[in-house]
Amino acid sequence: MHSCRDSFLLCVAHQGEGWGKRDLTHNINFFMNVPVTSNGDLTFADGVSEPGKYVELKAERDVVVVISNCPQLNNPCNAYNPTPIRLMIWNS
């Protein structure tokens, strides 16, 4: 299974613009819970969001958005079963 970053790279490679690693910015993970332990390690924990929670974003310029809902092979969150998402896109 590809990591989310690898999925992003595959997606931008198919845009036909010659995009690659240097064209990707950092990802944003709105709903995953990855606490930092006291010794600085990252751990996976069950998410803290509930069904129906949402994030609203406004693009101030033309953007390409890449979304991945991929489970991590070693992440027990949601019993290794990612839940569906819904996107709504509109022009203002």
**CA distance from start to end of the chain:** 37
CA gap 85, 67 in Å, rounded: 10
User: What pLDDT score was predicted for residue 2?
Assistant: 62
Residue 11's nearest CA partner among 1, 24, 30 is 24
CA gap 29, 84 in Å, rounded: 15
User: What pLDDT score was predicted for residue 87?
Assistant: 85
pLDDT tens digits for range 20-76: 888 887 777 777 788 899 999 988 777 777 878 888 989 999 888 887 766 666 666
CA gap 42, 23 in Å, rounded: 26
User: What pLDDT score was predicted for residue 48?
Assistant: 78
Strand partners, 63: none
CA gap 21, 12 in Å, rounded: 9
